[in-house]
Structure 1
């Protein structure tokens, strides 16, 4: 029986494919993003409460997103390992509270979580599988209780205006790392506190100094609307 031989171009193609697939699943850090539901809903687009009911008045998770140090990010890394709610059944009650959907039409959250895992989470599966990915997000939200941090500094969701710089300083003092503040605009086009970005290590456990943040601008003073 003749042994099979492979040409150099074929071997080179396999090596290239291996490098591309490996790179697709690598990353340097995470963005952990929390959003204020009052600001999500108080826009011209509006919002819809999930089928489980109105979420609590607290910052909720938007996502845990792998990123590269060079400013780019991986996405949609594994079409063979898509979201499967049966793998995280015991996390779902906590996710409905801490990671709810506010998109319209009203939904139970699975479409939102599927998007987060399929686009972002699959790129971290070399370290975090689907269960540990969502668990990491829930744990980080507990560590970074933004509303409690702000209210301890008398920054409350009461519709008043607050200094963006002061909000940033208060969160940095509490967590030891510099956050990034993202604003959106209400129906009257007034700037308001919308999202808080924090950077997390590759294991999804500890907050770190961020290599960079997306370029976003907020006014010196922003509204913190009620929800």
Structure 2
């Protein structure tokens, strides 16, 4: 009887370890927003969604990406949970505003959301199901108005050039955490503000200081193009 009790206890411990390992399959999230003016002002150009047309002049969500503290990241973790549009039907109108696709050819955004869920979302499925994943990203965007933060410090999407450290400090001062700044190049080869990374805890709910910031391709002075 004693031997049986020990065996049952061992099985319970192993099951608990499996649950812990699954729930901790990543260390944090990158919450990434992109500036549409910079996405479009490249040699590849952009296309607006077929259903909604040109997005608002605002930062839009690129993704909510599970990451490890060593800068690597999991991807395409579970094909058993493919993207299902019916799971987020109540979020579509908000996603069309906050998470539009700018890739060509034009789409109804669904392919973009499907890609983000399949590649990144499935890696957090033990914590956030499909609806929870997209709702978490929308909630995070609602907490931080990047465009308003930058405008309040005189940094405008007017085609002017701004010091990248000033952009970093403006966001850190408002949010309380240091962001990662990513740049791309416009059609003239100028470095321009493209993406802003903020880090989020494993629940997908709370901003945190980044364990590691993404590598940057920015010059010291970068363009903030209009859109």
Normalised by the length of structure 1, the TM-score is: 0.89
8 A contact 2:181–2:218 mirrored in 1: yes
CA distance in 2, matches of 1:216, 1:89: 36
- Displacement of 1:77: 1.0
Aligned equivalents of 2:206, 2:90: Cα separation in 1: 24
Unaligned runs of 5+ in 2: 1-13
The CA RMSD over aligned residues, in Å, is 1.7
CA distance in 2, matches of 1:118, 1:191: 31
| 2:32–2:64 Cα contact (<8 Å) kept | yes
The residue aligned with 2:117 is: 117
Write the distance in 2 (CA, Å) between the matches of 1:105 and 1:56: 19
Partner of 1:33: 32
Q: Secondary structure at the match of 1:62?
A: strand
The number of equivalent residue pairs is 210
**2:89 is the alignment partner of 1:89:** yes
Residue-by-residue CA offset, 1:66-118 (whole Å, 9 max, x unaligned): 01112211111110111000010010000000000000000001100000001
Encode CA deviations 1:115-136: one digit per residue, 9 max, x unaligned. Answer: 0001100110111000010000
Q: Do the aligned partners of 1:67 and 1:73 also contact (CA within 8 Å) in 2? A: yes
Q: For residues 53 and 88 of structure 2, what CA distance do their matches in structure 1 show?
A: 21
Aligned equivalent of 1:127: 127
Residue 64 in structure 1 maps to residue 56 in structure 2: no
- 1:24 and 1:123 in contact (8 A); partners too: no
1:206 equivalent to 2:206? Answer yes
User: C-alpha separation between the residues in 1 aligned to 2:43 and 2:194?
Assistant: 14
In structure 2, the residue matched to 1:196 is 196
For 1:77 and 1:39, locate their aligned partners in 2 and report how far apart those are by CA, in whole Å: 30
Secondary structure, in 3 states, of the residue corresponding to 1:97? helix
Match of 1:222, SS state, is strand
The CA distance in 2 between the partners of 1:50 and 1:144, in whole Å, is 24
On the 8 A contact 1:33/1:198 being kept in 2, the answer is yes
* Superposition map of 1:1-227 within 5 A: 22=21, 26-51=25-50, 52-227=52-227
Q: Which runs of 4+ in 1 moved over 3 A?
A: 22-25
Structure 1 residue 25: deviation in Å?
6.9
Equivalent residue number for residue 6 of structure 2 = none
Given the two structures, how large is their TM-score scaled by the length of structure 2? 0.89
**Structure 1: gaps spanning 5 or more residues:** 1-14
Q: CA deviation at 1:218?
A: 1.0
